[in-house]
Structures are given as C-alpha cells and as structure tokens.
Amino acid sequence: MNRRLPGALNQCQRLLFAVNSHAKPAFSTRFLSTSRVNHERQECQVLVVGGGTGGCAMAAKLSSRLGSNKVIVLEPEEKHYYQPMFTLIGGGMKRLDQSHRQMSQVLPKKAKWVKEKAVEFDPDNNTVSTSGGKTIKYDFLVIATGMQLKYEKIPGLVEALETPESNVCSIYSPKYVDHVYECLRRTYKGNVIFTFPNCPIKCAGAPQKIAYISDHYFRKLGRRKNVNIIYNTSLPVIFGVKHYADALMKLVKRRNITLNVNRNLVEVRHCDNIAVFEDLTKPGEFHEESYSMLHVTPPMTAPDVVTNCKQLVTPTGFVDVDQMTMQHKKYCNVFSIGDSASSPNSKTAAAAAAQSPVVFRNLMAAIEGKNPTDVYDGYSSCPIVTGYSSCILAEFDYTLTPVETFPMDQTKERYSMFFMKKELMPVLYWKLMMKGYWNGPALMRKMFSVLKFNKK
C-alpha cells in the first residue's frame, strides 16, 4: 500500500517514514544463518547498547511489545551488578555476591544477546561495530552505556587501591568495594577522608552515604573520639537540593564531621598517606592532607566509544538528547536512557526507572511514524543512608523541587526508609525493574496524594 507524504514533514519524520515504509524486515532467515559472512553482519529493529539498569529495563519492555528476535542487546559483561548495594557492602551490611546476577538471567529471553563491546557508532548509516568484528544494522537505537570510572585520572590512585596494605578504598567498583570495610576495621585514629570529584558522577549521594556509615561504625566501636571524619567535595554545597541540604548540614554538625567545599582530589601519595587537593575557588592552590583512611570517588565520563562519536554527543561527551523526550536532537531514531544521556538529572537507578516508560512510549511512537509526546520531568531519588539503621529519602525533579512519595517529612532520618533501601529495593529491582515492570514511584505518589486529599 502506497502512503503519501505530507508536504511539511521534517527530516526526522521523513527518515521514520522511510524506515517504516521501505526497510526490509529486521530479521530474516539470512540473519539466522551460521555462515561467517552473515554472522558478521546482523540486523534488528531495535539495538540496545548496554546491559545495565536502563538497558535491561528497555530491552524487557521492547522485546515484550515487539516480540522475539526484534531486539538485540549489545553487552560484553557476564555479570549485572545492582550498584546501589555497593554502599551497604562498604559498610559491611551486604556481601558482594548478593549484588549481582548472571547477565543471561537478567536479559529478557525474547531479546538476542550479543556478548561483545560496541567499538564504533555510525548513526548516519544506522550501524554499530562490535569488538567481535560484527556490524549490527538497526532501525532504532537505544544508548544505555552508563558511565566509566576513571581512577587513573588521579595520579597515584590506582597504585594505592591495588596495594593491599594501603588504606585507600572506593565503593564504586566491584573490584575495590570489599576493601572499604577492611579499611574501616583496621582504622582506629587519625583523619578519615571522603572525596567527591569535579565532574558528573553516578549516584551523587553515595560519597556522603559511606561517610555517614563510617561515622556510625566508629561510634559503635567506641573509636569516634580518636577519628576525625572529613568530607571534601568539589561542589560548592553539600547537596544540590536545598530542602535536603539544610537537613544534611544539621546532620554534619551534629555528627562533628568536617565539611570542605570546592576541594578536589588531584593526587594520592599512599606511601606517605598524603592526599593532595586543589582549592577550586583558587585554581593552582593545593593542600596536602594526611590520612589514616581515604575513600575516593573516582572521576567519571561517558564511555570512550560514545564520546568518540561527535555526531551523537554534547561537548561534555554525553548523548545529546532532548531532556523531556530523551530522543536525540539530530537523529530521531536514536534514544538514550540512564547515565549516558545528557539530560541534566541526577544519575541514579531511580532516574533510569522514571525515564524508561518515557523512552519506551516515545520510541514506540517513532516506530509508528509519530512524534514523541511523553515527557520526563527529571525525577530522581537518592536514599541517603546515614548509618546502620537510618536513611533520608531525597526525591526531586529537574527544578530541584522535592517530589516526595510518602506522606511524611522525608528530610528526617527514619528506620522505615533504611529498611526499604536495604531490603525492599533490591527485590523491586530484580523482580520488577529488570523485567520492565517498574516505572518509578509516580503511581504510588498519586495514591498517597489521593488518600491525603480524601482525609481533608
């Protein structure tokens, strides 16, 4: 059946019309061939690059709607980690083996898993090249590559982390996270320093969480009077949302934690137990601080394969999407979700959950040749664990306005929020979000709002 193009279609609409009208079926009998030539060139309707939180959620939603063998997930790792658990592992509340599942168990069965890395994006030709020599042709692309940790950007840090007797640690990598609790156990006095780097990072609350957990650990063991806890952040404030920053400042004062803002770690001399910081308000001015324990949050960037494709990214290296629709600003058959996207939200699993229904519905609209209409409001959540039995649940949107789910003051430390973070959220993640069923707490928030209204 011939379809007529309206005269005023923009470039994206014309491309979508061409994809839906003239493209060959994404999967054919040729795709299933085991011959070497055909094995190296594959095709799909939707290619999801990345098997992390956002990638798995999108693969589950899309393959459920589109059917078997229409979605390819490009992901090289064998294990999928629930990274929000790393803070609890650092405090000795969880084990590393509780934080991961095999990738084969997490990815949806209707999607095809290509266990290789993406090595080059070519959005002009709708292809991605892989580390195994394949070229995957797609109709639509979802970039969910997350962020990469750049420990090597700080001189001396990698050597310090890989020296067992060094009291330098980090919760951000499964390679180093177990060492955090070891450092806590053998620290009895001196400066215990926690850092926040001068760049966007995933889970911006985590560096504070491990600081508060450590404070509580030393108090429980009667060591706190001999330990000076220091939180050095490159940011000008303790937290970006004033509503919660005010509560956290009271907590810091009450716990006698030293807060230094605009201070960025630039070097580690682990043989001398010295950390070097630059004062960002006075570039070129450095401070040497001795430590008995140093917890480092590493610099982070989008993966090199993403930043190398200049057509796809902003000057800072993140996928250049419309922050409301999560659709690429130039390539309308490209979307991004999670930490790899340029949307100015806090980079958390909660943000990916809230983005997932928006990306899904807008991508399905694009497949049907329609304009995306769903909007992501920037929702993100950060359960700020403040000890072994308490948590402040911060929720907010693009405007940094609190968007709280529960009918209570969420700036207060509560055991209920701690229990939810420690016991309920992992179950929700594995059982619902990884299967494409969890879209964030918006529905729950509406229910509480209705109940509150009815009481009035």
Domain count, the chain: 3
Q: Which of 258, 280, 299 is the last residue of a domain?
A: 299
Residues 113 and 225 in one domain: no
In terms of pLDDT, which residue wins out, 139 or 18?
139
Give me the pLDDT at residue 12, please. Answer: 57
Residues 165 and 281 in one domain: yes
Task: Work out the burial of residue 156: count CB atoms within 10 Å of its CB; fewer than 13 is exposed, 13-18 middle, 19 or more buried.
Answer: middle
- Name the percent of the chain lying above pLDDT 90: 88
Q: Which of 282, 299, 316 is the last residue of a domain?
A: 299
Helices 177-185, 206-220: inter-axial angle, 10-degree rounding: 30
Answer yes or no: is 108 within a domain. Answer: yes
Q: Is the pLDDT of residue 39 over 70?
A: no
Residues 224-263 have pLDDT tens digits of 999 999 999 999 999 999 999 999 999 999 999 999 999 9
Residues 94 and 25 in one domain: yes
CA distance 174 to 104: 19
Residues 217 and 282 in one domain: yes
Answer yes or no: is 5 within a domain. Answer: no
Give me the pLDDT at residue 177, please. Answer: 98
Give me the pLDDT at residue 37, please. Answer: 40
Give me the pLDDT at residue 18, please. Answer: 47
DSSP 426: H
Residues 167 and 291 in one domain: yes
Give me the pLDDT at residue 444, please. Answer: 87
Which helix H or strand E contains 359, and what residues bound it? helix 349-367
* Catalytic residue (choose from 44, 169, 382, 391): 382
Answer yes or no: is 1 within a domain. Answer: no
Residues 155 and 293 in one domain: yes
Q: Which of 262, 280, 299 is the last residue of a domain?
A: 299
Residues 43-71 have pLDDT tens digits of 999 999 999 999 999 999 999 999 999 99
For 359, the domain range is 11-145+306-367
| 203 assigned to active site | yes
> What CATH number should be reported for the domain holding residue 354?
3.50.50.60
Q: Is the pLDDT of residue 318 over 90?
A: yes
Answer yes or no: is 223 within a domain. Answer: yes
Answer yes or no: is 336 within a domain. Answer: yes
Answer yes or no: is 375 within a domain. Answer: no
Answer yes or no: is 322 within a domain. Answer: yes
* Catalytic residue (choose from 203, 309, 332, 391): 203
Weakest mean pLDDT among 27-31, 91-95, 396-400? 27-31
Answer yes or no: is 4 within a domain. Answer: no
Give me the pLDDT at residue 22, please. Answer: 39
Residues 82-94 have pLDDT tens digits of 999 999 999 999 9
Residues 180 and 277 in one domain: yes
Residues 116 and 163 in one domain: no
Residues 268 and 165 in one domain: yes
Residues 398 and 339 in one domain: no
Say what the pTM is. 0.90
Residues 176 and 289 in one domain: yes
Q: Is the pLDDT of residue 7 over 80?
A: no
SS3 for 288?
Answer: strand
CA distance 348 to 201: 9
Residues 363 and 392 in one domain: no
CA distance 118 to 129: 6
Read off the pLDDT of each residue in 29-36 and give the average, rounded to a whole number: 34
| 382 assigned to active site | yes
CA distance 83 to 394: 18
Read off the pLDDT of each residue in 190-206 and give the average, rounded to a whole number: 97
